[in-house]
Structure 1
Amino acid sequence: MNQENVIKPKKQHTKIGAVIVLIISAAVFLPVGGAVVFQAIFNTNKAPVFGSFDGKKIKYEPGSDFMQAAANLADMYQQYGYNLTYELSNQPTDMSYYRIFTTAFAQTVMNSAFSKEVEYSGYKVPAAAIDRAILPAFTDENGKFSKKLYNQISDADLNTMRLNSEKNLVYSRYVDDLFGTGATEFNGKPLYGLKSAAAEESFISSLGEEKHSFNMVTFDTGDYPKEEAVKFGKENSDKFIKYSLSAITAETESEAKAILKQIQNTEITFEDAVSEKSQKYYTGSDGKITTSYGYQLVSMIPDEKDRDAVKALSKDSLSSVIKTSRGYTIFRADTESEQPDFTKTETADAALSYMKANEKGTIETYYSEQAANFAADAAVNGFDSACKKFSLTKTDVPAFSLNYGNSTLVDEKAGAPVAGLTSILTNENALKSAFALKVNGISEPLILGSNIIVLQCTGIQTQVAENTDSLAARISQADQSCAQRLLMVSDRVVDNTFQTYIQNFMNLSAK
């Protein structure tokens, strides 16, 4: 039996996730090379527009902050081992390009917003500050100023360097003042930015100290038995009557009535009307409706009386003009309706597909009852015994903190400890139930997305925070993330990154 104990934290290591997360740093806009990484992807004759900020378009074009940010982020990805060589026959499957563009877009927006705020304040970057910023570019291997290196740079390049440094310092002024990200310290604390009281830091660092470990079994609602779906189908057979229908759809009721009159007067055949006059919203080119089960007619024909009239059509008969979800439709029964035969694989599969799409509550109830039976058996005979009896695989869940919202303030290693538990981090009731368990206690069934789980608490551990040096940085990062999210959903931002990316990427692929 696991008992409460104290464990020491493990050291953290830098991962590629640090690159994927938005890096709020003006340095991302400074030229470091690699600006042609994405040249082949886009039509350089017309710069793609990814959106706008305060009405100003954000374009992927030479000289723009957006292009420079994307190039520098791509360079960072490559340093972490990502192969960003673009080949039409072997496009990246990990969405690396898309993540780079979305990150670069957000950084460009934030750069514009923060720099504007500094300009509004009237702040001007002192020339001496620019001198200090560019000085490292002219130091020798001993860290001393090299007049030779300084004299080698042209006036134009020196001016560009100073302008870029000034832009960097304007942006950094805002970030440092609000978030305390600068290196300048006083008494071991960042000189700039919102300060945290010692008591507050102590409280925050204690939030993730208590960690609970669990045994877990999972009931996947995607595995709903077909025989159960067949039972449902037999009890609701009307939904699975098969109709063989053809249809002609017009935009307006008057158009549809005129077509019906022409057919009735033998001025045009139904087939010719399909070919020449139908909008084919619900059919193929032959006019046949592709959704043939009773339940599939509901979304097409909203009115129940109209649906009943269509279902009652005899072979070769025509309906009146029916108002459908889109347009006005004339239906024809091509054959008599066919009663469901659930011994046929096709019909059984249709019942299962219907239930997965429309009866999720029924499926959840089925598995919740299974899970409740498992929990009751486990409480009496033990978790392992119940797993064997119910043919379930037990998952060992490593100790993790009560961390609603998955905040890195509570736990630097924020995230689900195992697959299948991701949604518990944003499920208040499930977290309460799990962390209220005493050692060896067994939970009631918990619904997490498409899974129903049962947990058994196997241990409660206290992890003492021995080193809180990173806490200030985590608080600052949390503030920055909040600032980013609020800005990106504001009315000042138009974000068309996804549409622009897909349009340009797919157009190139099609060439």
Structure 2
Amino acid sequence: MSKDTKSNAFKKKGVKHHRNIGVLIGTSTILVITIVAFILVPALSQSASSAEELVFGRYGKTKIDYVPGNYFARQIEYINNIYRDSDTFSDNVEYKRQLVWQTAFNQTVIQKAIEDSLMNSGVTISDKQIDKAVVERGPFKVDGVFNEEAYRNASTQVKFDLRNQLKEELLREQYLTDVMYGAYRNDSLLDFVANMGSEEKKFNYAVFNADSLDDDFFRSYASTNLEKFTKASLNKITVYTSQEAAEKLLDRINKEEISFRDAAIAESQDNFAAEGGNAGELYFYEVLNDVESEDATNNIFALNDREISPVIKTTYGWVIYQMISTPSMPDLVSQEFLDDVKVYMSRNEKGLIEDSLVAKGNEFSGRLENDSDFLTTAAAMNIQNGTSGYFAVNYGNNRMIPSSITNATNQDPAFSSAAYDELFLERLFALSDEGEVSDPLVLGNNIIVAQLAGTQESTAIPEDSMAYYKYQIESEITGYMQSDLQNIVLSSDKLENNFLRTYAKIFYAN
């Protein structure tokens, strides 16, 4: 296969990928299937009896249809057989069935994409190659040896179908040989990957989060935002269908044809209906989040006892409120209230919390300038702290690199996102001198101050284990490339995907 062929395979507008795109796809490894499902292939409905109706899409000019015995049909049977006795997945038979058919469709699309790529590059499989495959792989062997009589006794259709299947296999194998093995399986690449995690570092660390802030911080915020935390007891009716339906219901309530409570039980479409619409005590900000209008929220909180609001548009429908008790100001001393403020700020005022935590991190770092011990100072300031084990830069906890920050910090929740935060890892490993302290680093909802505690070379892989380790690396690379291929092909401009429409026509037609 030429270089141009490799670079043009599976092109899609707006998608960037490596010049040599490919994946280790063999008879048993094309698209590693992670589903566990069992579903017999049922008879097709009468309304989906013609071949034309069973076209699930196209890849380029190639039709992807279901015909008994074709690649798509064989994939469905293959997946069924693999997972026939498995029961660790959903018991929903319809769900399993669709999953099996969808996976078979995806595999078929990739197979057709491979064939399309090879065809465009002029690759063909000769009759002589197919003849050889019939002898070596065909079902005509007796005691392991090709039997001419068995071959002659097979029907013409059986031979024709077998040759087509073998051609598909040979094309796939040709693709693997041209694109995969020569391009990617070389010692230089494997040596490079094997040494990616050679430098390891360990760190002392201090963790600052919302729990590091005292009650006065949250009390101060609440005292300057009292309106947000005004609380009222409210009844509520929710109507999803239309404003007209809500207005008619409100009219019946106002005319006393039905009580608010009975209307809520009979007509409301929210979780408070069974309680007669009793929504309990709600903060001003909670109601504001629903109605998305400060004026409307002010009007609700201005209602008198038992007064009913007009119909109000919300983010999800229309509501009618009834005031049960007039609003009250928050108790700024109550711990329960301060906990509510902390929850609110953690969701809505992350910037303010982050700024305060960064200030605390800088205060901590300032104390270290007097040559204070990192961990001792953190403990004295009642700051969460610890020391990691040695680990290498390993973005995404890649299995090709033995160590990771996740394991090195004993899966500390504060570092749960660290392996996927490139900027954090970059700044952490920029520390080069033992004892050097970082600036406060943002990591999720935490601020981390780190100190380099040591650097070492990772333990060398024993020579007698290197071959196996390189094999693991090859498998891991294959997995990534496989995922890339699937994403590129299934999002390609060449793919016309009508799977759901045709599937519904087969299984759900009346």
Normalised-by-shorter TM-score class: 0.5 to 0.7
Shift of the alpha carbon at 1:437?
0.9
Matched, 1:386 2:377: yes
Q: Which residue of 1 aligns with 2:391?
A: 399
Identify if the C-alpha distance between structure 1 residues 283 and 173 changes in structure 2 by more than 3 Å, giving closer, same or farther: same
Identify if the C-alpha distance between structure 1 residues 98 and 220 changes in structure 2 by more than 3 Å, giving closer, same or farther: farther
Identify if the C-alpha distance between structure 1 residues 407 and 495 changes in structure 2 by more than 3 Å, giving closer, same or farther: farther
- Contact 2:250 2:311 (8 Å CA) reproduced: yes
One of 444, 449, 455 as aligned partner of 1:459: 455
Q: Which residue of 2 aligns with 1:16?
A: none
Q: Distance in 2 between matches of 1:244 and 1:385?
A: 49
Matches within 5 A, 1:98-113: 106-113=106-113
Q: Which residue of 2 aligns with 1:242?
A: 231
Percent identity between the two aligned chains: 21
Shift of the alpha carbon at 1:464?
8.3
Q: CA RMSD in A?
A: 5.2
Matches within 5 A, 1:56-455: 64-68=73-77, 70=79, 84-86=86-88, 106-120=106-120, 123-133=123-133, 135-137=135-137, 145=145, 147=147, 161-177=162-178, 179-181=179-181, 190=182, 193=183, 201=189, 208=196, 211-217=199-205, 219=207, 221=209, 223=211, 227=215, 231=219, 232-249=221-238, 252-253=242-243, 256-275=246-265, 278-281=267-270, 283-285=272-274, 286-289=276-279, 292-341=282-331, 347-378=337-368, 380-389=371-380, 390=382, 392-401=384-393, 413=402, 416=405, 418=407, 419=411, 421=415, 423-438=417-432, 439-455=434-450
Q: Distance in 2 between matches of 1:25 and 1:227?
A: 59
Q: Distance in 1 between matches of 2:213 and 2:144?
A: 75
- Contact 2:265 2:273 (8 Å CA) reproduced: no
Q: Distance in 2 between matches of 1:391 and 1:473?
A: 43
Identify if the C-alpha distance between structure 1 residues 461 and 352 changes in structure 2 by more than 3 Å, giving closer, same or farther: same
Identify if the C-alpha distance between structure 1 residues 325 and 85 changes in structure 2 by more than 3 Å, giving closer, same or farther: closer
1:291-340 residue CA offsets vs partner (Å, 9 max, x unmatched): 72211011222221111111011101122343333444432212222333
Shift of the alpha carbon at 1:349?
4.3
Q: Distance in 2 between matches of 1:43 and 1:342?
A: 65
Identify if the C-alpha distance between structure 1 residues 44 and 372 changes in structure 2 by more than 3 Å, giving closer, same or farther: farther
Q: Distance in 1 between matches of 2:480 and 2:257?
A: 72
Q: Distance in 1 between matches of 2:193 and 2:184?
A: 18
- Structure 1: segments with no counterpart, 5+ residues: 1-21, 76-82, 182-189, 505-511
Q: How many residues align?
A: 441
What is the letter of the counterpart of residue 461 of structure 1? E
Shift of the alpha carbon at 1:414?
8.2
Secondary structure of the structure 2 residue equivalent to 1:351: helix
- Contact 1:442 1:454 (8 Å CA) reproduced: yes
- Contact 1:29 1:72 (8 Å CA) reproduced: no
What is the letter of the counterpart of residue 340 of structure 2? A
Secondary structure of the structure 1 residue equivalent to 2:232: coil
Shift of the alpha carbon at 1:273?
4.0
Identify if the C-alpha distance between structure 1 residues 343 and 463 changes in structure 2 by more than 3 Å, giving closer, same or farther: same
- Contact 2:111 2:172 (8 Å CA) reproduced: yes
Secondary structure of the structure 2 residue equivalent to 1:292: strand
- Contact 2:133 2:166 (8 Å CA) reproduced: yes
What is the letter of the counterpart of residue 243 of structure 1? A
- Contact 2:197 2:402 (8 Å CA) reproduced: no
Q: Distance in 2 between matches of 1:299 and 1:61?
A: 55
Shift of the alpha carbon at 1:102?
8.5
Shift of the alpha carbon at 1:257?
4.6
Of residues 432-441 and 352-361 in structure 1, the stretch that sits farther from structure 2 once superposed is 352-361
Q: Distance in 2 between matches of 1:106 and 1:302?
A: 43
Q: Distance in 2 between matches of 1:365 and 1:100?
A: 50
Q: Distance in 1 between matches of 2:268 and 2:323?
A: 19
- Contact 1:226 1:348 (8 Å CA) reproduced: no
Identify if the C-alpha distance between structure 1 residues 72 and 407 changes in structure 2 by more than 3 Å, giving closer, same or farther: farther
Secondary structure of the structure 1 residue equivalent to 2:231: coil
TM (norm. structure 2) is 0.66
One of 475, 485, 488 as aligned partner of 1:486: 488
Secondary structure of the structure 1 residue equivalent to 2:327: coil
Q: Distance in 2 between matches of 1:274 and 1:113?
A: 57
What is the letter of the counterpart of residue 452 of structure 1? I
What is the letter of the counterpart of residue 110 of structure 1? I
Q: Distance in 2 between matches of 1:404 and 1:378?
A: 30
- Contact 1:317 1:333 (8 Å CA) reproduced: yes
